């Protein structure tokens, strides 16, 4: 893994840590990570880019969940920090 590949998971984890008193919806995380993609007009190209961003965010959430750092509710698409997973 390169240094750049650690930045996005760290950014998402940091956001969840800052909101540890609540469940964070998937859409909110996508807007936090890629704010400009949600302001763009809805064209086929922008839709494709937005889908790529959402896929990347979901992959990172699954990665953090596999490490037991977060709890990912697959039914509601909400995430929260896993305080019991910390040392």
What is the pTM for the complete model shown? Answer: 0.79
pLDDT reported for residue 38:
47
Q: What is the number of domains present in the chain?
A: 1
Ramachandran area for residue 81 (φ above 0: left; ψ -120 to 50: alpha; else beta): beta
The CATH code of the domain that includes 75 is 1.10.10.10
Pairwise pLDDT comparison (21 vs 42), residue with the higher score: 21
**What range does the domain containing 43 cover?**
3-85
pLDDT given at position 47: 66
Model confidence pLDDT, tens digit, residues 24-79 = 999 999 999 987 654 544 555 566 788 899 999 999 999 999 999 999 998 999 99
CA 82 to CA 50: how far, in whole Å? 27
- 22, 13 contact by CB (below 8 A): no
């Amino acid at each position: 893994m390169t240094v750049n590949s650690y930045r996005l998971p760290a950014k998402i984890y940091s956001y969840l840590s800052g909101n540890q008193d609540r469940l964070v919806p998937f859409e909110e995380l996508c807007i936090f990570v890629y704010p400009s993609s949600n302001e763009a007009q809805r064209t086929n190209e922008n839709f494709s880019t937005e889908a790529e961003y959402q896929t990347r965010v979901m992959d990172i959430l699954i990665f953090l969940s596999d490490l037991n750092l977060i709890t990912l509710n697959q039914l509601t698409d909400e995430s929260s920090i896993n305080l019991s997973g910390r040392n």
